[in-house]
């Protein structure tokens, strides 16, 4: 891992990493960059904290000399050279993975694993590290009542010196609902996840927030906020990717480095489209919620219909526009069985039962979201559907050159050519090209370069599926009935033959 000239980039995947220091439990600081084989950093919108690992080839007995035991800290500063002035990187501080002591936030080592001797003079092992907030969450508990806007409650927990005590930048989407919440001896992140499930976006009204940490800071926001600005306007994409050759000597390419940054080394659809079976069972398309009011002993049934509710929320390919043909992630407008029903009309695919009450904490609001008690059921179904549309929807994995300014929650565009013999005009796939949200990133730094594995999701399609009134033909066959006892009697062999 050679030291790069600051601000100078030689090729896509180049990086600046001056040192990787380990801070021992007795205060000593040692640069271990020369013995580092591999550095990995992991971030995800489904994870509350940043984690990573360092693979070390040790021929100096650092484990013994430095008394490595899992209580150390790791510091470094990683940057894609030239990203400071890149138009896509934004603020200079947000283009750097800054884990330095001086200006950033060092990681905390929590485990040493996979130690083995590869030859008589070298031992290889892995140091696992995480953010300071990850460790604070394991060491503290919250037993306290909070009242007010839910994003403010999260901010208080994160900044409280008795709990997380974070020093990082926090990006908070204001919530539209206020509530009084009692947290009974829970880990801080468990409490925040509970609050996230109850949060409603102030601008778009989206239900359910994501709470996660990236290499740039901590986020508390809705899916709508990832695809729109202020719940109304299309969010600009952070990067545009193409599946095209990189190692080519094309004289017409004026900016080879930028060309290679946008090139995808390989791609794979983990879910080529919505997992219809999983989403049906999870209540993504149809969901009946029965809420029991503990105060007046009444109950209410609410039904969620994916096709009807789709346009009420924001999606990757449909933010600030109304389409003639809705861009459902599946053919939600078509009949799917012989009973001439569409998938959203099976509201018993998932049935949930929950209790609620008004006058919680002497206030006439529902227990779930701090709204009218009658909203608890519909909001629960909406949250479950939205989360499942993302997690079990179209999921794409891209391998690209490392770009330190990218983080999970960013909106990107992937241009995928239609795979057909006559596509001479270079037309893109109508459904699976388009915008995606980065949901997971693995930053991998090796001596030869910096690469990223991006896992991306979309909850809509670029052009909607055809909607029609086609009816599935009725099967003319009738169910048969077979008495196994009579059949066994008829099949009994004649022993006297």
Q: In the predicted model, what is the mean pLDDT of residues 266-288?
A: 86
Domain boundary pick from 172, 206, 235:
235
SS3 content of the chain, % helix, strand, coil (to 5): 20, 35, 45
Q: In the predicted model, what is the mean pLDDT of residues 296-305?
A: 90
Instruction: Calculate the alpha carbon distances from 153 to 137, 164, 181, 195 in Å.
Output: 16, 13, 9, 8
Q: 90 with 112, same domain?
A: yes
Packed helices 132-139 and 188-198: angle between N→C axes, nearest 10 degrees: 100
pLDDT at 321 over 60: no
Instruction: Name the residue range of residue 187's domain.
Output: 133-235
- The dihedral built from the CA positions of residue 202, 206, 210 and 213, taken in this order, carries a sign that is negative
Over residues 371-415, the pLDDT tens digits come to 677 888 889 999 999 999 898 889 999 999 999 999 999 999 999
- pLDDT for 277 equals 87
The pTM for the full model equals: 0.90
Residue 441 lies in a domain: yes
pLDDT at 85 over 60: no
Residue whose token pair is 């778009």: 204
Q: 154 with 225, same domain?
A: yes
- pLDDT for 136 equals 97
What is the CATH number for 165? 3.55.50
pLDDT at 4 over 60: no
pLDDT band at 272 (very low <50, low <70, confident <90, very high): low
Q: Which helix (H) or strand (E) holds 161?
A: none
Q: 122 with 260, same domain?
A: yes
Cα 129 from Cα 300, distance rounded (Å): 48
Q: In the predicted model, what is the mean pLDDT of residues 342-355?
A: 90
Q: 196 with 294, same domain?
A: no
Residue 493 lies in a domain: no
Residue 366 lies in a domain: yes
Q: 114 with 154, same domain?
A: no
Q: 11 with 121, same domain?
A: yes
Residue 110 lies in a domain: yes
How does DSSP classify residue 42?
E
Cα 77 from Cα 16, distance rounded (Å): 8
Residue 484 lies in a domain: no
Over residues 153-212, the pLDDT tens digits come to 999 999 999 999 999 999 999 999 888 899 999 999 999 999 999 999 999 889 999 999
Residue 471 lies in a domain: no
Q: 167 with 263, same domain?
A: no
Cα 341 from Cα 329, distance rounded (Å): 18
Q: 138 — phi, psi (to 5°)?
A: -75, -20
pLDDT at 324 over 50: no
- Per cent of the chain over pLDDT 90 is 57
Buried b (16+ CB within 10 A) or exposed e, 128-161: bbbbbbbbbbeeebbebebeebbbebbeebbeee
Instruction: Calculate the alpha carbon distances from 94 to 10, 25, 217, 222 in Å.
Output: 22, 30, 9, 21
- What is the count of structural domains for the chain? 3
Q: 170 with 92, same domain?
A: no
Please check whether residue 73 is in contact with residue 109, taking contact to mean a CB–CB distance below 8 angstroms.
yes
Over residues 100-157, the pLDDT tens digits come to 999 999 999 999 999 999 999 999 999 999 999 999 999 999 999 999 999 999 999 9
Residue 83 lies in a domain: yes
Instruction: Kindly give the pairing relationship between strand 16-23 and strand 170-172.
Output: unpaired
Q: In the predicted model, what is the mean pLDDT of residues 408-436?
A: 89
Residue 333 lies in a domain: yes
What is the rounded radius of gyration, in angstroms, for the C-alpha atoms of the chain? 27
Whole-number mean pLDDT of the chain?
87
Q: 121 with 154, same domain?
A: no
Instruction: Calculate the alpha carbon distances from 44 to 22, 49, 215, 440, 455 in Å.
Output: 25, 8, 10, 4, 9
Buried b (16+ CB within 10 A) or exposed e, 373-402: bebbbbbbbbbbbbbbbbbbbbbbebebbb
Q: 185 with 296, same domain?
A: no
What is the CATH number for 122? 2.30.300
pLDDT band at 5 (very low <50, low <70, confident <90, very high): low
Q: 386 with 289, same domain?
A: yes
Q: 12 with 120, same domain?
A: yes
């Amino acid at each position: 891992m050679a030291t790069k000239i600051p601000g100078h980039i030689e090729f896509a995947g180049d990086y600046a990493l001056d040192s990787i220091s380990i801070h021992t439990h007795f205060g000593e600081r040692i640069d271990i960059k020369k013995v580092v084989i591999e550095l990995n950093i992991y971030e995800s919108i489904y994870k509350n904290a940043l984690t990573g690992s360092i693979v070390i080839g040790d021929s100096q007995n650092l484990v013994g000399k430095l008394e490595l035991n899992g209580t150390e800290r790791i510091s470094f500063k990683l940057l894609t050279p030239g990203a400071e002035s890149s138009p896509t990187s934004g603020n200079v501080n947000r283009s750097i993975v800054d884990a330095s002591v001086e200006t950033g936030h060092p990681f905390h080592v929590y485990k040493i694993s996979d130690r083995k001797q590869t030859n008589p003079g070298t031992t290889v092992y892995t140091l696992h590290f995480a953010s300071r907030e990850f460790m604070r969450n394991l060491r503290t508990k919250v037993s306290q009542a909070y009242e007010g806007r839910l994003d403010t409650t999260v901010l208080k927990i994160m900044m409280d010196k008795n709990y997380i005590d974070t020093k990082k930048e926090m990006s908070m989407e204001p919530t539209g609902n206020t509530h009084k919440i009692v947290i009974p001896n829970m880990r801080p992140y468990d409490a925040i996840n509970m609050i996230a499930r109850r949060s409603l976006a102030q601008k778009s009204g989206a239900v359910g927030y994501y709470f996660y940490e990236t290499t740039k800071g901590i986020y508390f926001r809705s899916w709508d906020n990832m695809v729109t600005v202020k719940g109304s306007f299309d969010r600009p994409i952070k990067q545009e990717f193409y599946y095209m050759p990189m190692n080519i000597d094309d004289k017409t390419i004026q900016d080879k480095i930028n060309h290679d940054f946008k090139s995808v080394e390989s791609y794979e659809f983990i879910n080529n489209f919505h997992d219809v079976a999983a989403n049906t069972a999870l209540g993504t398309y149809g969901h009946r919620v029965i809420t029991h009011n503990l105060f007046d002993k009444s109950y209410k049934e609410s039904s969620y219909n994916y096709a009807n509710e789709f346009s009420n929320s924001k999606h990757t390919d449909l933010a600030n526009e109304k389409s003639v043909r809705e861009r459902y992630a599946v053919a939600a407008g078509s009949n799917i069985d012989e009973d001439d029903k569409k998938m959203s009309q099976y509201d018993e695919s998932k049935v949930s039962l929950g209790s609620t009450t008004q006058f919680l904490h002497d206030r006439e609001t529902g227990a779930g979201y701090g709204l009218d008690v009658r909203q608890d059921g519909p909001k629960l179904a909406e949250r479950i559907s939205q989360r499942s549309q993302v997690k079990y929807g179209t999921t794409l994995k891209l391998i690209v050159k490392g770009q330190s300014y990218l983080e999970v929650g960013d909106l990107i565009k992937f241009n995928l050519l239609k795979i057909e013999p006559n596509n001479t005009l270079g037309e893109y796939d109508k459904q699976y090209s388009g915008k995606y949200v980065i949901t997971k990133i693995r930053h991998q730094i090796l001596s030869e370069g910096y690469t990223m594995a991006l896992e991306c999701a979309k909850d809509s399609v670029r052009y909607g599926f055809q909607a029609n009134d086609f009816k599935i033909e009725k099967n003319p066959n009738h169910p048969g009935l077979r008495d196994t006892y009579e059949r066994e009697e008829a099949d009994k062999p004649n022993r006297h033959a």
